[in-house]
Amino acid sequence: MRNYVSKSVDNLRPSGIRRYFDIAATMDNVVTLGIGEPNFVTPEHIVDKSVESLRLGQTAYTSNSGMIELRQAISAYIQRLYGLYYDPKDQVLVTVGVSEGLFLALKAILDPGDEVLVVEPCFVANTAAVEMAGGVPVRVDTCVEHEFQVTGAALEAAVTPRTKAILVSYPNNPTGAVLSRERLLEIAAVAQKHDLLVISDEIYERLVYGIEHICFATLPGMYDRTILLSGVSKSFAMTGWRIGYVTAPCALMEAMRKLHQYLIMSAPTMGQTAAIEALLHGEDDVRAMCAAYDRRRRLLVGGLNALGLTCFEPRGAFYTFPSVAATGMTDEAFCDTLLQEEGVAVIPGSAFGNSGTGFVRASYTNSDENIEIALERMQRFMRRHG
């Protein structure tokens, strides 16, 4: 029998994250610093509002674009945070998480062979999404010397006549890096010079520590060039509700909405109801969770540096990105050995792109107690291998 799997799918690289979750699931007493998911449960008032909607029988499809009440809440939320206005009627689209939003954005703008500059290290789905949309990902590396902030010069060097867009994800998964205003302006300059779009994934926008997040669309001349992606998954501990959103200029939004209509119909109705409550009344929850992450961040960064697993200070999201050079191991060997010997799960940096090689992603979404246990186990590990 012939192989019926398409070459485009066959050529996609499997997720470098999933393998470690699968191994850890077969083991007892594993402390995971690998998962990029809040260990908080969704705040009770958000859950209650969704349950109330279910009991009222609100289980039908919504508008393709999402409930108008949610789109209005998203518009008001962005305006409150950044002073930007997106019309709820034709500039806001509710998606099934940011992952759908990213695919819609790419599919809407790419013709076969168009190139997208993908800043790495980045979430494992980013380059795959470009390929699935028919485009060509052009990887642009960052480095620890620049705190994994992309530079305008690096982007400029990667531009070709086929370049259509720049894909950036800051605050960054896996590094925890946040772009300075200087670096943001460099990206904007490249976009303007070469007439490019910028797809800005800002799902971690509310999880920053000691600094202020700058929304890319607020930069001079960037509102009409930016497709902005975000959602409620990370900031409000609502990963399983699967509610993201896209905001963009009208012409781009119309193309994305057309795709969304055929692919999805509408995002989960009960999730949309929960998201309205989160955006309107969840500010105290965000601040409390952010303060907890900040405490854990300092605990994990300090502990890793003390063990010789040096890392720069992450200023956003909920990840650290330490170097494993002190062990003499590759990042994959480090993760495999640490998991087998000490029952601590972290993710190799190479899973997020070539510029992540030699580093590992360790998340501080776990409890303070479990982070301390993980550090104790890693101390034993480093006595043997450091």
Q: Which domains does the chain have, with CATH numbers?
A: 7-42+284-385 (3.90.1150.10), 58-282 (3.40.640.10)
Rg of the chain over all Cα atoms, to the nearest angstrom: 21
Mean pLDDT of 266-277: 98
Cα separations in angstroms, 273 against 21, 45, 54, 64, 267: 31, 12, 10, 15, 11
3-state helix, strand, coil in the chain (%, to 5): 45, 15, 40
Helix ranges, the chain (H)? 7-10, 18-25, 44-55, 68-82, 97-109, 125-132, 152-158, 181-193, 250-263, 269-281, 283-306, 331-342, 368-385
**What's residue 191's pLDDT?**
98
Model pLDDT, residue 297 = 98
Please check the confidence at residue 14 and state whether its pLDDT lies above 90. Answer: no
pLDDT for 4 equals: 84
The confidence score (pLDDT) of residue 332 equals 96
What is the rounded average pLDDT of the residues 145-166? 98
94 DSSP β-pair partners: 245
pLDDT of res. 106: 98
Q: Residue 176: phi, psi to the nearest 5? A: 80, 5
pLDDT at 13: 79
Q: Could you tell me the pTM of the whole model?
A: 0.95
Q: Is the bond leading into 121 cis (omega within 30 degrees of zero)?
A: yes
How confident is the model over 327-362, as pLDDT tens digits?
999 999 999 999 999 999 999 999 999 999 999 999
23 pLDDT more than 90: no
